[in-house]
Amino acid sequence: MRITDLLKPQGIALGVAVADKRAAIDKLVALHEKCGNLTDVAAYKQGIIAREDMGTTAIGMEVAIPHAKSEAVKKPALTAITVPGGVDYGSPDGAPCKLIFMIAATTDGDVHLEVLARLMQMLMHEDFTAKLKAAKTPDEFLKIIDEQETKQFPDEAKAPAEGKKDGYRVLAVTACPTGIAHTYMAAEALAKAGDEMGIPIKVETNGSGGAKNVLTAEEIANCEGIIIAADKNVETARFDGKPVYSTKVADGIHKPKELINKIINKEAPVFHSDKKADAGAGGGKDSFGRQLYKHLMNGVSHMLPFVVAGGIFIAIAFLIDTFAGNAGSASFGSVNVVAAWFKAIGSVAFGLMVPILAGYIAMSIADRPGLLVGLVGGLMATTGVTFFNPGNTGFNDIISGFFEAINNGTMTFPDAFAQATDQAAALAIVPSGFLGGLLAGFVGGYFMLAIEKLCSHFPRALEGIKPVLVFPLLGLGGIAVFMCAINPVMGWINTAMTNLLKSMADSGLIIPLCALLAGMMAIDMGGPFNKAAYVFATGMLASQTVAGYMIMAAVMVGGMVPPLAIALSTLIFRNKWTKEEKRNAPVNFIMGLCFITEGAIPYAAAHPFPVIPGCIVGSAAAGALSALWGCTLRAPHGGLFVVATIGNPFMYILALLIGSVIAALLISVLKRSVKE
């Protein structure tokens, strides 16, 4: 797709005279209406005016580009006018505007965004805009655009440069609220200024179609500084320790050399962040295992609100039915009308847990194209879609019958296989659940990366079609085939795991498992071990079994112990801690009761040997006691604020107290006294 595909002759008016900015907008909107680009003229015009209220879209050099993304837009399109006498458009340089393009963007799809980005970059060339302002006919106007686009953006993408010997001296990130116009214009202005000044510069654009030309960790490490020309938040944790100069996107367009000099002359302050950059942000060289962990955590962080809110709503439903005397009912949780409402809403949120997890794992791996395959794969994991028609024969029965027939000698292998195949034709849906969602996220993400690489050699003219046609179609087809094939296998594993946990609960082996998981909550207090235990517990909670509820209870009590133990130790063994540590410790009582394990991190970081071992033992003890006394938990978070949803709550609180005391005593014994 090219710019001339979005701009038609009937959408161009040359030599127009308009009294003011509003009249210019009216004329351009009327051209869109004339071309049939809009479904609601008033709504689209309102969007244009709302964008102008955020700040003028005039960019200087006698050019303005009003734009809006709106549901009132039928198809992506451009209109244009030339105003020989000029019109006051509030331009930053004070010059009247003589060339105005108006962008009509749809709210879904990014086919047009790269084309529009090209136009923004082309308009930064004054010789090009001068020709457009002098055009006599719409056809001549379009011919000038087509020639410049061909010259500046040839169809065959150029081979990427090997990279400058000394790397990029300056890096930059540009972004505007809509991600359509100013983002790319600022990038082009900075790149041009860098070339004119002889300073190698690379610019990342955070546009509506996602981040492009992303800065790598190596480039960030080797540059002299970073310019952020943005009117919206961009990811900055990756720039920790580097000089960073932040300003508005308009300065990137109008003051590019001044911004570059801020970095070269060392006038930019050093930026410090208390957050770690994620893998996708900086393109770092983490180990493969570390990358997998970061992708997983991206999924988990987006999933947790659904788990917590949905789980608590479901727990409230059980609580209401308990008070209503319906605890023994087969429809427990849905008997009372109010309980049924909470259960239904909670189930909707909880049901989104796996699709959200898979979607954001895939998105972390493959950026926006990965979101579709992850979400669909996760939903297929929960619904259990397979290649076979719905029926009543379970997958486990088919496999068991196959092997039983072979072992008993009642059938030959070909006959048994034929029977199993016939039964499979009527196989019921086989949800693969949490494990299937994890697999869908990772497989879908890396599958999309492979597709992107395969499509990287498309001609530039076809670039715009990839994000909304090629990637979604190939990705959806690939993940559909994969999940239909893997769901029966993962469903069998899920069933086996659930049965194993049930047998462990019946035999008493659930107690050491709960102790292990609770102890893991205290190893790194919010790190990989902690998250692994918590994610496992929430997955088991979704199974809605007694064993799953016991595991959730043990994990939460294990996470509550460390901050409570610190608070107790500083209160009782005051000679073991500094004045500052004692002064800050009381807040850990609240954090512990709220199930915020991270409250103990400052103390664990300052005194790892006494704090971490003591907390692990105390948490494990609390988890074991919770399981021993049959405590259960239907809510995945909340600490003692969800005590009403805890099975055997008094013994649960006792397990928490015992574990906290054990941890506090061990910490205090292992830690040396402090001499102020």
Q: Do residues 435 and 494 touch, judged by C-beta distance below 8 A?
A: yes
- Architecture of the CATH domain 3-152: 3-Layer(aba) Sandwich (3.40)
What stretches of 353-470 show up as alpha helix (H) in DSSP?
A: 353-366, 368-383, 395-408, 413-424, 433-454
Pairing verdict, β 632-633 and 646-647: antiparallel
- Residues recognised as catalytic: 67, 176
Q: Do residues 199 and 264 touch, judged by C-beta distance below 8 A?
A: yes
pLDDT tier, 414 (very low <50, low <70, confident <90, very high otherwise): low
pLDDT of residue 530 exceeding 90: no
User: What's the pLDDT tens digit per position in 93-111?
Assistant: 788 999 999 988 887 655 4
Please report where in the chains the tokens 């107290």 appear, as a residue.
657
Quote the pLDDT of residue 160: 34
DSSP secondary structure, 529-580, as one string: HHHHHHHHHHHHHTTT-HHHHHHHHHHHHHHHHHHHHHHHHHHH-GGGS-HH
pLDDT tier, 155 (very low <50, low <70, confident <90, very high otherwise): low
- Architecture of the CATH domain 170-282: 3-Layer(aba) Sandwich (3.40)
pLDDT of residue 579 exceeding 60: yes
Burial of residue 280 (number of CB atoms within 10 Å: 0-12, 13-18, 19+): buried
pLDDT of residue 1 exceeding 60: yes
Gyration radius from the chain CA atoms: 31
Helix (H) or strand (E) holding 58: strand 58-60
pLDDT tier, 418 (very low <50, low <70, confident <90, very high otherwise): low
Q: Where are the domains of the chain?
A: 3-152, 170-282, 288-502, 508-670
pLDDT tier, 427 (very low <50, low <70, confident <90, very high otherwise): very low
% of the chain residues with pLDDT over 90: 29
DSSP secondary structure, 119-155, as one string: HHHHTT-HHHHHHHHH--SHHHHHHHHHHHHHHHS-S
**Which amino acid belongs to residue 257?**
K
pLDDT of residue 621 exceeding 90: yes
* Sign of the torsion formed by the C-alpha atoms of 586, 590, 595 and 596: negative
Mean pLDDT over 254-261 rounds to 91
pLDDT tier, 202 (very low <50, low <70, confident <90, very high otherwise): very high
Distance CA 513, CA 161 (A): 55
Burial of residue 672 (number of CB atoms within 10 Å: 0-12, 13-18, 19+): exposed
Q: Which two tokens stand for residue 411?
A: 């059938």
User: What's the pLDDT tens digit per position in 358-386?
Assistant: 998 998 888 888 899 999 998 888 777 77
Distance CA 294, CA 289 (A): 9
User: What's the pLDDT tens digit per position in 447-483?
Assistant: 998 888 888 777 766 666 777 788 889 999 999 888 8
pLDDT of residue 163 exceeding 50: no
Classify residue 284 by its DSSP letter. Answer: -
Phi and psi torsions of 619, nearest 5° = -65, -45
Residue 455's Cβ-side half-sphere holds a number of Cα atoms within 13 Å equal to 22
In the sheet that holds 170-175, the strands lie side by side as 210-212, 201-207, 170-175, 225-230, 244-247
Name the least confident of 319-333, 473-487, 623-637.
319-333
Phi and psi torsions of 206, nearest 5° = -100, 75
| 326 or 18: which leads in pLDDT | 18
pTM of the model: 0.50
pLDDT of residue 425 exceeding 50: no
Cα angle for residues 14, 120, 143 (degrees, 5° grid) = 45
